[in-house]
Amino acid sequence: MDTSQAELIAFLTKRLGADGVIDDPADFPRYTIDWAGDQRGEPLLVARPRTAEEVATVVGYCHHHGIPMVAQGGHSGLVGGAQPDAERRELVISLERLNRIRHLDPINFSMSVDSGCLLQTVKDAAEQADCYFPLALGAQGSCQIGGNVSTNAGGLNVLRYGMMRQLVLGLEVVLPNGRLWNGMHALHKDNRGYELKQLFIGAEGTLGIVTGAVLKLAPRPQTRRTALIAVPDIAAALKLYSQARRSCCDLLSAFELIPRVCMELAFEATPALPDPLDEAHPVYVLMEVSASGPVDLDTMIEHLFEAGADQGHVRDGVLASSEAQAAQLWQIRESMLEGQQMRGEHLRTDISLPISALTAFFEGACQAMTERSPETQVIAYGHIGDGNLHFNLLPPATLEHGAKQALLHELEAILFDLVDAHEGSISAEHGIGRVKQRPFLAGLDDLERELLDGLKKLFDPDDLMAAGRILPRRR
């Protein structure tokens, strides 16, 4: 251990207490591997501050001594942003002990929280106050609000409630120089010039460490109905979507596309899951409507079924008759991810397109993948109500690791060219991190690159905070 590391340990121990610093490599693994297990790193040390002021103290020390640092939430991010680099240069600043709910205001429909609160904890606290925090995603038991803010997380309810950008009223952030910015406003309308908080949302920890957030709540839904509807193809799914948006009185809260091949993955991961319909169909839609007051949702969905069947884009369907049955339908959506993970190495994407371009894109992309690699399996599903597709690829199992990686790399380039041709985005949800940096940079024009570089230099001139994520490392 060199002197500077010993000094850092002594400083952290003095300021955060003995349990506020982890310096034994045997305890590092929990902070070094991402959820998918394919991004790893080696931290210099791990700091575990308990308050925003402690975060500011740690960051100020790093700034003064030129120590690179990276913020870490629940490490469920999917683009390798939270894992330290492999060279043991970065101090991991874990927010796991910043986990207090500060204040809940049911009249203002807002809640202020520490950034290390788990998303599930926040959702439970909102429910107890007869409110609702609508962000919903598979990792909600482990991801933190700070991670959700920093990745501008989306999830299942975006089409009704928006992404984190729309769900944050205020923020508290430690800047890369250790200064604490207090923007914890609980205002639903505020037009005082530049919207600073939006700079930190989706910035993946490159501009500052989020220590607190004021979240926007909604009324708690009192009634909710989930339906699984079988349709012949993607075009029919989109017709149903358009109809549902119009006929469900703006109460549509989720609209997910599940091709049969993806449902099979769910059955592989959770064999006890029943096949919800008597016959298999090529494509399904999993949709939810919810209301905070007494609305006849059953009749609303039945009318949608009938109209869809009359027009030929609904073949069959089931309307969950109990909470347990609805949970089982949602379990299909969750288990698909596990099934995909169980199949081993694959390409994961989170692209988005204008909703009206989804059918042409889907057909063109499947054809392009088959032409290049007929044995590669397309696993494409997603939040199509937001134009967001997880167009994932499973390479042939017979290939060895290097050949799989080369093939997936090539297929990704073909796919992203098609996304570009349809004026889409290579990241709708997960962000850029390190994994998507190359195609992200390739898609920027000179002016965009200049503006982004300038922004990063303004906040972090020494490139010490989350260096190498989104933009390339400068030193």
Ligand X SMILES: Cc1cc2nc3c(=O)[nH]c(=O)nc-3n(C[C@H](O)[C@H](O)[C@H](O)COP(=O)(O)OP(=O)(O)OC[C@H]3O[C@@H](n4cnc5c(N)ncnc54)[C@H](O)[C@@H]3O)c2cc1C
- Which residues contact ligand X by CB under 6 A? 35, 70-78, 81-82, 95, 115, 137-139, 143-144, 146-148, 150-151, 153-155, 204-205, 209-210, 337, 429-430, 433, 466, 469
Ranked by CB distance to ligand X, the top (closest) residue is 147
**From the CB of residue 233, how many other CB atoms can be counted at a distance below 10 Å?**
16
Question: CA 206 to CA 190: how far, in whole Å?
Answer: 25
Helix (H, G, I), strand (E, B) or coil at 174: strand
Residue 21 near residue 67, CB atoms below 8 Å: no
Q: Which is nearer to ligand X, 308 or 433 (CB)?
A: 433
**DSSP letters for 429-460:** SS--TTTTHHHHHHT--HHHHHHHHHHHHHH-
Question: CA 254 to CA 391: how far, in whole Å?
Answer: 19
Tell me how far, at minimum, the Cβ of 391 lies from ligand X, in Å.
Answer: 15
Q: Which is nearer to ligand X, 167 or 238 (CB)?
A: 167
Tell me how far, at minimum, the Cβ of 222 lies from ligand X, in Å.
Answer: 25
Residues in Cβ contact with 228 at an 8 Å cutoff, skipping those fewer than 6 apart = 276, 277, 284, 285, 286, 317, 318, 320, 329, 332
Residue 234 near residue 365, CB atoms below 8 Å: no
Q: Which is nearer to ligand X, 171 or 418 (CB)?
A: 171
**CA distances from residue 414 to 222, 368, 371 in whole angstroms, order as listed:** 45, 8, 11
Tell me how far, at minimum, the Cβ of 140 lies from ligand X, in Å.
Answer: 8
Tell me how far, at minimum, the Cβ of 336 lies from ligand X, in Å.
Answer: 10
Q: Which is nearer to ligand X, 259 or 431 (CB)?
A: 431
Show the tokens assigned to 386.
């937001």
Q: Which is nearer to ligand X, 197 or 469 (CB)?
A: 469
Tell me how far, at minimum, the Cβ of 209 lies from ligand X, in Å.
Answer: 4
Distance from the first to the final alpha carbon of the chain: 23
Tell me how far, at minimum, the Cβ of 123 lies from ligand X, in Å.
Answer: 14
Q: Which is nearer to ligand X, 113 or 237 (CB)?
A: 113
Q: Which is nearer to ligand X, 71 or 236 (CB)?
A: 71
**DSSP letters for 333-360:** HHHHHHHHHHT-S-B--BEE--GGGHHH
Question: CA 50 to CA 47: how far, in whole Å?
Answer: 10
Q: Which is nearer to ligand X, 208 or 439 (CB)?
A: 208
Q: Which is nearer to ligand X, 96 or 317 (CB)?
A: 96
Tell me how far, at minimum, the Cβ of 254 lies from ligand X, in Å.
Answer: 11
Tell me how far, at minimum, the Cβ of 160 lies from ligand X, in Å.
Answer: 14
**Cα-based angle 82, 161, 292 (whole degrees, multiple of 5):** 130
Beta strands in 208-352 (DSSP E): 209-216, 218-219, 223-231, 252-259, 283-291, 316-319, 351-352
Residue 104 near residue 76, CB atoms below 8 Å: no
Tell me how far, at minimum, the Cβ of 448 lies from ligand X, in Å.
Answer: 20
